[in-house]
Structure 1
């Protein structure tokens, strides 16, 4: 299975709904299993730079099939730096993204920027949960 645009937009809508509950302004990126952007949304009033963070975290989460925050402590390791360079420098090893699985298979990731790492991950988790049924 692959993520559809409709599913990606549902993930974004749910992440934004959680951000509204938390009273923060976020950017949300949904990428496919290969880390390529499928859909993006930025809330009114959201900082433009958060978009880069949301995508970089989503790429990290998809690339390693785990929440991006779990990669942060290893970010300075030579292998992690090499992967980031090989990917083009767009990968961020910071809290705020979760992988999306379907039937146990990685299909993408949701990354969020704009709040604290904890808030971003909470919003990303809420977005990804939209596809669980």
Structure 2
């Protein structure tokens, strides 16, 4: 049987703190979602001032990246080439979700929503970088 790495609570909190620090540094009010490799929510932080819809969008961005093992921007770009991908089940085609890769395995993803999509991704990247 194959052994696969997985996120631990300490990993999730370390990444979440790095995401929050980046958002606060930039003065951005966002929601941060971290999911496991199946897209199941492990952590959600809707910062003060982040609008209600950001909680759902951040979670869907993270889920998209986890289940497809690709940044959500991949799907945003893909839809431009083939609009049929708009109907791909369970996938949100908006930049701001990044898979968390460890030893060649996707162990989860981070999704952020609340500012411009490239800024959402900047915050998610800060979290992934903290995992090292």
TM-score (normalizing by structure 1): 0.87
The aligned residue for residue 12 of structure 2 is 8
Deviations 1:49-95 (A, max 9, x none): 111110010011112111111111334643551423xxxxxx41110
CA RMSD of aligned residues (A): 1.5
The aligned residue for residue 33 of structure 2 is 29
In the alignment, structure 1 segments of 5+ residues that lack a partner are: 85-90
TM-score (normalizing by structure 2): 0.88
Check conservation: 1:74, 1:80, Cα contact below 8 A: no
Larger radius of gyration: 2
Check conservation: 2:75, 2:92, Cα contact below 8 A: no
Displacement over 6 Å in runs of 4+: none
Q: Kindly tell me the number of residue pairs found equivalent between the two proteins.
A: 126
Structure 1 residues 79 and 118: alpha-carbon distance in aligned structure 2, compared to 1, 3 A threshold = closer
